[in-house]
Structure 1
Amino acid sequence: MSYIMVDIESDGHIPGDFSMISFGAVIVKENLDTTFYGKLKPISENWIPEALAVSGHTREETLEFDDPKEVMENFAKWIAEHTKGQPVFISDNNGFDWMFICWYFHHFIGRNPFGHSSQNLGSLYKGLTKDTFVNFKHLRKTKHTHHPVDDVKGNAEALLTMKNEMDLKISLK
């Protein structure tokens, strides 16, 4: 199984009505050197300035981003090339990140290489520590910048710390 840490940035609350404008992914393994970065042209006229501002991009910039179908096809190819077995989607906020990635995969290429399941990094840490009030974010080494590749690397570092220093039993291939 290959774990792929994913983070998305959007210009609104939900896919379809709003747009995923960028996302990053990294194969979770010790060196974190296998990454994917996609920037997607908006699919909707709707957008929330405050939501878009988090990404650091302007609406005008996003209108010049890549075709979403092409980006999702390239992401699916990247997943197939860099994983063994069923890829596992994991993210810091999988309720949000998953709904965009899943919707975009099904909408643009008719399938989701991750299947029907996702994992939540925060919930994993809470279970590992047996404390629903704790947060894993202090385990990140890479600064959380809202650039999705930085953010997935920091989250993957946290997962690797759970594995290497907290005895999390996980198979990373």
Structure 2
Amino acid sequence: MSARRVKPSLYISVDVEADGPIPGPYSLLSLGAAVAGRQDADGFTAADATRQTFYCELRPISDEFVPEALVVSGLDRDRLVVEGLEPALALARFTRWVREVSGDAQPVMCGYPASYDWTFLYWYLIRFTGESPFGHSGCLDMKTLYATKAGLPLRAVAKRTMPAHLLSRRPHTHHALDDAVEQAELLANLMAWPGPGTPR
């Protein structure tokens, strides 16, 4: 296939807050997303991460939770039992939003690191909507992207060791939308970064 005919990708930064380590026994409580940019045969174009965003809070699906997880997110689980969206409705709205912002591009979920957020997101999408707008593998891990560009072992990577100019200036608040926007800016910086030892 000609490089000029490759379908573009739309990178969507996603952050979730949950009340435990795995979906099923534990619940996804909030979901934030922000369009980070678009990549086609001509390269990557960053987006304004605050312009196209999604946020929702969900009703828990079980009575189990890890108290420490709630401390991190600051979410009130009792409130979400009453006020949170039903997961099927929340994930249907999210899927519709992903398809609307993606247009003719293929959506790609991205996160730092993506593994935890993808685990919850994909499980919830399949469980409550029966499908994923990202397919089964449309996931980009920013930690791996940095490790590859920096020539470092993956387990040696942490945000505190990354060059400051790659990081977003936004604080990491553990609010899903705030963190999705922060990560979207990180992705844009990583995509533009040629690697260590090169001019900015």
The CA RMSD over aligned residues, in Å, is 1.4
Q: Which residue of 1 aligns with 2:173?
A: 145
CA-CA distance at 1:136 after TM superposition: 4.1
Tell me how far 1:41 sits from its aligned partner: 0.2
- Distance in 2, matches of 1:123 and 1:54, equals 24
**Could you say which residue in structure 2 is the equivalent of 1:167?**
194
Question: Secondary structure of 1:54's partner?
Answer: helix
Structure 1 runs, 4 residues or longer, greater than 4 Å off: none
Letter in 1 for 2:129: I
Per-residue deviation, residues 53-104 of structure 1 (Å, max 9, x unmatched): 2111122122121111100000000001000322111111221111110010
Is the counterpart of residue 13 in structure 1 residue 21 in structure 2?
Answer: yes
**Is the aligned partner of 1:105 residue 2:125?**
yes
Q: Structure 1 CA distance, aligned partners of 2:191 and 2:116?
A: 25
Counterpart of 1:121, as a letter, is M
Q: Which residue of 2 aligns with 1:130?
A: 151
Asked whether 1:80 is paired with 2:99, we answer: yes
Gaps of 5+ in 1: 169-173
Aligned residues: 167
2:77 aligned with 1:59, yes or no? yes
**SS where residue 28 of structure 1 aligns?**
strand
Correspondent of 2:31 among 8, 23, 26: 23
- Structure 2: state its 5+ residue gaps: 1-8, 38-46, 196-200
TM-score (norm 1): 0.91
Matched, 1:92 2:112: yes
Q: Percent identity?
A: 37
SS of the counterpart of 2:73?
A: coil
1:43 matched residue in structure 2? 61
Deviates more, 1:114-123 or 1:57-66: 57-66
Given the superposition, is the C-alpha separation of residues 95 and 134 from structure 1 closer, same or farther in structure 2, using an over 3 Å criterion? Answer: closer
Contact 1:102–1:112 (CA under 8 A) maintained in structure 2: yes
Contact 1:18-1:46 at 8 Å conserved across structures = yes
Alpha-carbon distance between aligned partners in 2 of 1:131 and 1:35, rounded to the nearest angstrom: 32
The structure number with the bigger radius of gyration is 2
Letter in 1 for 2:145: L
